[in-house]
Amino acid sequence: MRAIILAAGAGTRLQPLTDDRPKCLVSIAGKALLDYQMDALRAVGVDDIVLVVGCKSEQVRAHCGAAVRYIDNADYLTTNSIFSLYLAAAELDCDTFLFNCDILFHPQILQDMMASPHANVVAADRRVERIENEMNICCDSAGCVTAISKSLDPQRAQAQSVQLVKFDAAGARSVRGEVVRLVEEDHKDAYPTSSYGPLIAERSLFAVDVSGHAWGEIDSLEDYQNAQERVVPRLV
């Protein structure tokens, strides 16, 4: 199994924490965000890790060394994360975890995703308050995802996405085809979730409820403070 981590971003909303390092190497409780993720992956047996890097990529390479593989996004300042995924499209040919570098999460979430009877899953939190402009999820009573977007009406949503997804080989190839189509039709500002459309249409993407586990997206200084106070203490 493989993991693709989108780690090209500069993290300007995390300044001054990112003044001298890329977002993925911001330290929380003495450990880089990227190290939390890679340790969680290795704990479930995933050693084939691909990083899409951009901002201060030399620091990421020095930090991780030969333990991972790298893909460079030289256009990280002018493109969204779907372009980073497009650059890694050739890697979407086997069972794959996919996530951004700014998600801090309990390792058990990956275990729960792997234990799901469904091939293609997204980690979902049904307890957290759904708010506008977050990656919300609509799903039916069986957990089949019917929509996932930041533009969803929170009142319609049943969960918020933890923004960790897992595909089987067929699902990964479906995402690959849609990513290529979107980017080559110049939708470079889309989110990777836009590429899940064919899976959603086929009713083959399911939400795995991980509400009992700690997680947080670290996109701002407020998020960082929240993670320090409410996520890190629950990771042990």
Residue 39 sits in a domain whose CATH number is 3.90.550.10
User: Across residues 196-200, what is the average pLDDT?
Assistant: 97
Q: How far is CA 2 from the centre of its chain?
A: 14
- With a cut of 80, say whether residue 188 has pLDDT above it: no
pLDDT per residue as tens digits for the range 119-165: 999 999 999 989 999 999 999 999 999 999 999 999 999 999 999 99
Q: Is the pLDDT of residue 29 over 80?
A: yes
Predicted pLDDT at 187: 82
DSSP state of 96: E
The pLDDT, as a whole number, for residue 78 is 86
CA distance 4 to 98: 5
Question: What's the confidence (pLDDT) of residue 151?
Answer: 92
pLDDT tier for residue 79 given thresholds of 50, 70 and 90:
confident
Provide the residue range defining the domain that includes 183.
2-234
166: nearest Cα among 102, 86, 94: 94
Q: What is the DSSP letter of 12?
A: G
How would residue 101 be classed by pLDDT, with cut points 50, 70 and 90? very high
Residue of 81, 48, 60 lying closest to 18 (CA atoms): 60
**pLDDT (tens digit, 9 = 90+) per residue, 166-185?**
999 999 999 999 999 999 99
* pTM for the full predicted model: 0.95
pLDDT, residue 202, reads: 97
E strands present in the chain: 2-7, 27-28, 31-32, 48-53, 69-72, 96-100, 103-105, 121-125, 136-139, 145-149, 159-167, 206-209, 215-217
Average pLDDT over the chain, rounded to whole?
Answer: 96
How many folded domains does the chain comprise?
A: 1
Q: What percent of the chain lies above the pLDDT cut of 90? A: 94
